[in-house]
């Protein structure tokens, strides 16, 4: 594989690509990184001056779906990331080389580039029987992982297996599989969960590090905020149906065909943090909910131990506080049969929701006082 490269701009120049093409690429990168357009200058500057990073990519206990996802990234194309924007020195599933020469190369990189490479890891880490349940190059994966982690400048846990343990850690977890961060520490660790993660999130995280030389801002669980700051429920295009109490009761009913909310058939969108609602999959084509199936929470810890993916989550509050999914469902049922009173009830629910949102906004801005409570809340049912 290649020697370490210079900056992204140097690469463009070497390939005789125009400045215009370079800036256009930076615009695309700014969007992928979840940065506002005002940050374009910063991205251009970083792309001109930052050394592109060396990456070592390991696979543990997993299905390789994360690699499959990564190579389908369209913005930027994974091929661009691999060939142009990083020096991918080791990846046992994507490398052309294999066997002893490849393992020897890994040893050299770890020895010669200590402190200067990013370690990307897919898969959980089985610990029982000295880790023998997952071996790479004839050695337990846990050993390889610890060696590579010792010289890494940062570690990216790609996928729910690396981040949380994954399917193989499902009860009773016969191999005692754990997350990567359960066995290594001492360097910044970024969790990029999802089974698998969204391709553009995978490339976005690595490009953030490539351009800025630091890990992106993380939430309390160690996930990049720009991609895991919202629940699926917050950006779901079916949310208006949830708020109006219009639910699918079972798959293939008329509500399902009409595309109503999947909450009652088990959707985990209200407690799952990921970017599927914004970015979607296959170059923005679709995501599970758009395909008619509820979110199973694949980016959340222990999602694999949910006893039943089709059982409704308990007690998710409706947007308004005067009702719950059952009673709103009843109101919606009346609405469907044309009962006039339902319109008033739904309007009241909507008004209450708007009021509470406004109250929250004013409180956050420090502009709220209790006299507003009386004035702000609607007390009637009709508009």
Site residues (vs ligand F3S, CB under 6 A): 194, 232, 272, 274, 276, 287-289, 295-299
Residue 62 makes contact with ligand FSX by CB under 6 A: yes
Map 150-196 to HEC letters: HCEEEEEEEHHHHHHCCHHHCCCCCCCEECHHHCCCCCCEEEECCCC
Residue whose C-alpha is closest to residue 137's, from 171, 107, 172: 107
Least Cβ distance, residue 20 to ligand F3S (angstroms) = 36
In this structure, are strands 139-140 and 125-126 parallel, antiparallel, or unpaired?
Answer: unpaired
Q: Are 303 and 170 in contact (CB under 8 A)?
A: no
The annotation status of 63 as a binding-site residue, yes or no, is yes
CA 56 to chain centre: 21
The annotation status of 195 as a binding-site residue, yes or no, is yes
Tokens of 344: 């008033």
Q: 193-208 burial, b for 16+ CB within 10 Å, e for fewer?
A: bbbbbbbbbbbbbbbb
Tokens of 302: 């222990």
Tally the residues of the chain.
Answer: 383
Q: Which of residues 183-242 bind ligand FSX (CB under 6 A)?
A: 195-196
How many other C-beta atoms can be found within 10 angstroms of the C-beta atom of residue 98? 11
Residue 161 makes contact with ligand FSX by CB under 6 A: yes
Largest pairwise CA distance in the chain = 76
**What is each CA distance from 373 to 206, 208, 349, 363, 369, in whole angstroms?**
47, 44, 17, 11, 7
Position among 33, 66, 207, 349 found at the interface with ligand FSX (CB under 6 A): 66
> Quick one: CA dihedral 6, 8, 13, 14, positive or negative?
positive
The annotation status of 148 as a binding-site residue, yes or no, is no
User: Which does residue 287 bind out of ligand FSX, ligand SF4, ligand F3S, none, counting CB within 5 to 8 angstroms by kind?
Assistant: ligand F3S
Position among 267, 296, 335, 348 found at the interface with ligand SF4 (CB under 6 A): 267
**What is each CA distance from 308 to 118, 142, 209, in whole angstroms?**
37, 32, 38
The annotation status of 298 as a binding-site residue, yes or no, is yes
Q: Are 287 and 280 in contact (CB under 8 A)?
A: yes
The annotation status of 26 as a binding-site residue, yes or no, is no
The annotation status of 343 as a binding-site residue, yes or no, is no
Q: Which of residues 10-69 bind ligand SF4 (CB under 6 A)?
A: none
Least Cβ distance, residue 23 to ligand FSX (angstroms) = 34
Least Cβ distance, residue 295 to ligand SF4 (angstroms) = 6
Nearer to ligand F3S, 53 or 165 (CB): 165
Tokens of 232: 């699926």
Residue whose C-alpha is closest to residue 269's, from 217, 312, 233, 315: 233
Position among 18, 64, 182, 283 found at the interface with ligand FSX (CB under 6 A): 64
Q: Phi/psi at 112 (nearest 5 deg)?
A: -95, -20
Nearer to ligand F3S, 160 or 351 (CB): 160
Nearer to ligand SF4, 176 or 235 (CB): 235
The annotation status of 276 as a binding-site residue, yes or no, is yes
Residue 269 makes contact with ligand SF4 by CB under 6 A: yes
Q: Which of residues 292-321 bind ligand SF4 (CB under 6 A)?
A: 294-295
Residues 187 and 16: their CA atoms lie apart, in Å, by 38
Residues 271 and 215: their CA atoms lie apart, in Å, by 25
Least Cβ distance, residue 70 to ligand SF4 (angstroms) = 25
Least Cβ distance, residue 123 to ligand FSX (angstroms) = 5
Residue 242 makes contact with ligand SF4 by CB under 6 A: yes
Residue 166 makes contact with ligand FSX by CB under 6 A: yes
Tokens of 246: 């219009």
Nearer to ligand SF4, 59 or 233 (CB): 233
Residue 238 makes contact with ligand SF4 by CB under 6 A: yes
Nearer to ligand F3S, 68 or 383 (CB): 68
- Number of chain positions touching ligand FSX (CB under 6 A): 14
Tell me the binding residues for [3Fe-4S] cluster.
276, 295, 298
Tell me the binding residues for [4Fe-4S] cluster.
63, 66, 161, 195, 233, 236, 261, 267
Binding site for ligand FSX (CB under 6 A): 62-66, 122-123, 159-161, 166-167, 195-196
């Amino acid at each position: 594989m290649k020697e370490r490269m210079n900056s992204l701009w140097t690469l463009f120049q070497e390939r005789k690509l125009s400045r215009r093409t370079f800036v256009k690429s930076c615009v695309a990168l700014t969007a992928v990184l979840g940065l506002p357009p005002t940050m374009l200058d910063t991205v251009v500057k970083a792309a001109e001056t930052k050394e592109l990073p060396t990456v070592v990519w390991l696979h543990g206990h997993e299905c390789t779906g994360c690699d499959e996802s990564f190579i389908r990234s369209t913005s930027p194309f994974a091929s661009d990331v691999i060939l142009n924007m990083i020096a991918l020195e080791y990846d046992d599933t994507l490398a052309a080389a294999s066997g002893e020469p490849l393992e020897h190369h890994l040893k050299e990189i770890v020895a010669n580039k200590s402190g200067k490479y990013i370690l990307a890891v897919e898969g959980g880490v089985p610990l029982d029987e000295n880790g023998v349940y997952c071996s790479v190059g004839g050695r337990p994966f846990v050993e390889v992982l610890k060696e590579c982690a010792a010289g890494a400048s940062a570690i990216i846990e790609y996928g729910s297996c690396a981040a949380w343990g994954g399917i193989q850690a499902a009860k009773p977890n016969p191999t005692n599989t754990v997350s990567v961060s359960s066995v290594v520490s001492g360097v910044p660790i970024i969790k990029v969960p999802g089974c698998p993660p969204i391709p553009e999130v995978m490339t976005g995280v690595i490009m953030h590090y490539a351009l800025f030389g630091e890990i992106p801002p993380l939430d309390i669980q160690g996930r990049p905020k720009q991609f895991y700051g919202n629940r699926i429920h917050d950006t779901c295009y079916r949310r208006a149906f949830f708020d109006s109490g219009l639910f699918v009761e079972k798959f293939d009913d008329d509500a399902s065909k009409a595309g109503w909310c999947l909450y009652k058939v088990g959707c985990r969108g209200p407690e799952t943090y990921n970017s599927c609602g914004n970015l979607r999959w296959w170059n923005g084509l679709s995501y599970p909910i758009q395909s008619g199936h509820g979110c199973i929470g694949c980016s959340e810890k222990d999602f694999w131990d949910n006893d039943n993916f089709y059982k409704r989550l308990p007690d998710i509050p409706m947007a308004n506080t005067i009702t719950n999914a059952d009673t709103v469902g009843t109101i919606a049922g009346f609405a469907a049969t044309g009962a006039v009173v339902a319109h008033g009830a739904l309007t009241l629910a909507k008004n209450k929701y708007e009021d509470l949102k406004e109250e929250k906004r004013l409180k956050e801005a420090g502009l709220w006082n209790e006299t507003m409570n009386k004035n702000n809340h609607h007390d009637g049912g009709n508009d």
